[in-house]
C-alpha cells in the first residue's frame, strides 16, 4: 500500500514559549478525495499522515483487509506457512542447520529456545544418561572396592594434611604470592 497523501509545503510557526524551538505547519493533500489539511510538528515528518476524513480512513482499512486476504490466499496456494520472524536470512540458515543435524545424526530434540549460559547439547538417550549420572556416584556395582575405600577415607578426612602450599613448592619467602612472573 502506497501513501495516498502528498506533501505540499510548510511554513514556520512561532515557538510556544521562551527558548523553545520553532514549530512547522506542514500542509498535505489527500490524493483520494482532494482534501487539503495541515498539522503542526517540531520538524517536517518523514512519513505523510493519512487523510483525517472518515471515508478515506474506511478506504484504507478496506485496502488493508483486502491485502491480508490476498496474502492468506497466496499462502494457501503455495502450501508453505509464512516465517514467524520474517524474512531474516539467519532464520533460514538456523533452520537448515537444524534439519541437517536431525537428519545426519538422528537428533530430534534440539533445544531452540536457548539463552546465554544454557547448554545447546541435546539430551542423551535414557541408558547413556543414567550411565553418565552414575559415572562418579558408584551406582550398582560401578566402582571397585578399592575406589570405595579411597572415597570413604577422603570423606572421613584421612587426606586432610597431605596437601602442600604452593609457596612451599617454589623457592622464595614465606608469605610471597603463590603465582609469580618468570
List per-residue pLDDT tens for the chain, 182 residues long.
Answer: 456 888 888 898 888 888 888 899 999 999 989 999 999 998 888 888 889 999 999 998 999 999 999 989 988 898 887 766 656 777 778 788 888 888 888 777 777 677 777 766 667 778 888 887 777 665 555 567 787 888 888 888 888 888 777 666 666 666 666 666 66
3-class secondary structure, 162: helix
Instruction: Quickly list H helices, the chain.
Output: 54-78, 89-105, 126-133, 145-156, 166-169
Confidence at residue 1, expressed as pLDDT on a 0 to 100 scale: 43
* pLDDT at residue 83, rounded to an integer: 65
pLDDT of residue 158: 87
Note whether 66 and 1 are within 8 A (CB).
Answer: no
Contact 12, 20 (CB under 8 A): no
pTM (predicted TM-score): 0.41
- How high is the pLDDT of residue 29? 93
pLDDT of residue 133: 75
Amino acid at each position: 500500500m502506497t501513501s495516498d497523501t502528498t506533501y505540499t509545503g510548510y511554513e514556520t510557526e512561532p515557538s510556544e514559549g521562551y527558548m523553545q524551538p520553532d514549530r512547522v505547519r506542514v500542509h498535505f493533500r489527500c490524493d483520494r478525495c482532494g482534501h487539503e489539511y495541515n498539522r503542526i510538528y517540531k520538524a517536517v515528518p518523514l512519513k505523510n499522515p493519512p487523510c483525517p476524513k472518515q471515508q478515506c480512513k474506511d478506504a484504507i482499512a478496506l485496502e488493508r483487509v483486502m491485502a491480508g486476504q490476498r496474502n492468506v490466499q497466496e499462502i494457501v496456494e503455495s502450501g508453505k506457512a509464512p516465517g514467524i520472524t520474517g524474512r531474516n536470512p539467519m532464520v533460514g540458515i538456523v533452520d537448515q542447520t537444524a534439519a541437517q543435524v536431525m537428519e545426519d545424526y538422528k537428533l530430534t530434540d534440539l533445544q531452540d529456545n536457548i539463552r546465554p549460559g544454557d547448554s545447546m547439547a541435546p539430551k542423551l538417550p535414557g541408558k547413556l544418561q543414567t550411565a553418565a549420572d552414575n559415572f562418579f556416584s558408584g551406582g550398582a556395582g560401578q566402582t571397585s572396592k578399592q575406589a570405595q575405600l579411597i572415597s570413604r577415607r577422603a570423606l572421613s578426612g584421612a587426606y586432610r594434611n597431605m596437601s602442600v602450599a604452593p609457596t612451599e613448592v617454589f623457592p622464595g619467602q614465606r608469605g610471597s604470592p603463590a603465582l609469580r612472573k618468570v
